Amino acid sequence: MKVLGMGNALVDVLAIIESDKTLEVLQLPKGSMQLIDEIRLQVVSEEINKLNKSIVSGGSASNTIAGLASLGIGTGFIGRIGSDSYGQHYKSDLEKYNIKSHLTEVDEASGVATTFISKNGERTFGTYLGAAALLNAEELNSEDFKSYKYFYIEGYLVQSHDLIRKAILLAKEAGAKVILDLASYNIVEENRDFLLNIIPQHVDIVFANEEEAKSLFNTTPEKAVSLLAANTEIAIVKTGEKGSWIQKGNEKVFVEANKVDCVDTTGAGDLYAAGFIYGLIHDCTLSVSGQIGTLLAGHVIEAIGAKITDDKWDGIRERIKGFM
């Protein structure tokens, strides 16, 4: 049961900020993902270069796929990179995780997600898409979708409506179930009508967090998960440090979050999705799948960056065995 992901192939440049005034100066709303151009990238880069920063390969869907690969699931990834050092770093990371590359390499600057981490762990992105933005519907290849059981789309791509429609069509033709993560509340706000159209028609499993669900339905997480579940096979609405609502048909469960020391919430939703999908692949209950997702999310927020460090995975696999 292999999983194919499609998303923005971005390199994350991350740093902790002393005060949220930095975000105000850069005009980046706290907790949001803002697309920026080359001019704003220079300004944002100058600011983050003053801080103690780290550089890792990222992108929402890629983080999820890397988590699944680390748990032994066969995976692949569709995206675009530039022919620069960031692009080579990204490609090497896919190889490291044994993820089958469906990357297109172009003569453009690679995408960079500049990530400012507030003292409470919340992250704010200034994202320059670069080469990643060149991913388009005409260049999708039906061969890339074959042999995958699940197709996972990150919500940051939702702004490209033609791309999403074509990708879903190819996934369905290949017999794959479609999973959509809504990714960011401002993306949901800007594409609400489109989402309300494609989710009931084409999406089998949907992930949202509390803010994204509110942007979509303007109601509580518990009610939102039911609204989503009425139009999909499985719906998940995460509520941060409280836990997550999960519903399939009339079965609804709430899985409490684990108490951990939060350093950086980057990747929490991505790794939650990886754990949940892993449970789904192994025919776990909704509750157990949610617990596996919660376990992975708890681990990734204990350190800076959107990936769980290699030394943690053996212990995580042992914990998962206990759930199953």
The better pLDDT of the pair 83, 324 is held by 83
Q: Give the pTM.
A: 0.89
Among candidates 159, 110, 124, which has minimal Cα distance to 34? 124
Q: What is the pLDDT of residue 57?
A: 83
Q: Which pLDDT belongs to residue 292?
A: 98
- Identify the CA nearest to 244 among candidates 210, 199, 196, 278: 210
- For residues 259 and 150, which has the higher predicted lDDT (pLDDT)? 150
Q: What is the pLDDT of residue 58?
A: 83
Query: Backbone dihedral region of 99: left (phi > 0), alpha (psi from -120 to 50 degrees) or beta?
Result: beta
How buried is residue 262: exposed, middle or buried, by Cβ count under 10 Å (0-12/13-18/19+)?
A: middle
Q: What is the pLDDT of residue 223?
A: 97
Mean pLDDT of the chain, nearest integer: 93
pLDDT of 305 above 80: no
Alpha-carbon span 257 to 293, nearest angstrom: 10
For residues 5 and 168, give the distance between their C-alpha atoms in angstroms, rounded to a whole number.
12
Residue 114's H or E segment, with its range, is strand 111-117
Round to whole Å and give the CA distance between 68 and 158.
22
Instruction: Locate 273 and state its tokens.
Output: 């999705």
- Fill in the amino acid letter for 308: I
**Lowest mean pLDDT across 163-172, 246-255, 304-313:** 304-313
Instruction: Compute φ and ψ for 266, nearest 5 degrees.
Output: -55, 125
What phi and psi values does residue 71 have, to the nearest 5 degrees? -95, 5
Which 8-state DSSP code applies to residue 266? T
**End-to-end C-alpha distance for the chain, whole angstroms:** 18
Helix, strand, coil percent values for the chain (each to nearest 5): 45, 25, 30
pLDDT at 199: 97
Coil vs helix vs strand at 133: helix
Query: What's the confidence (pLDDT) of residue 267?
Result: 86
Q: Residue 6 in contact with residue 78, Cβ under 8 Å?
A: yes
Q: What percent of the chain has pLDDT over 90?
A: 77
Say how many residues make up the chain: 324
| The pair of three-digit structure tokens given for residue 196, joined into one six-digit string | 């309300």
Confidence tier at 72 by pLDDT (50, 70, 90):
very high
Instruction: Tell me the per-residue pLDDT of 118-137, one tens digit each, with 9 for 90 and over.
Output: 988 888 999 998 999 888 89
CB 26 within 8 A of CB 129: no
Question: What gap in Å lies between CA 139 and CA 9, rounded to an integer?
Answer: 16
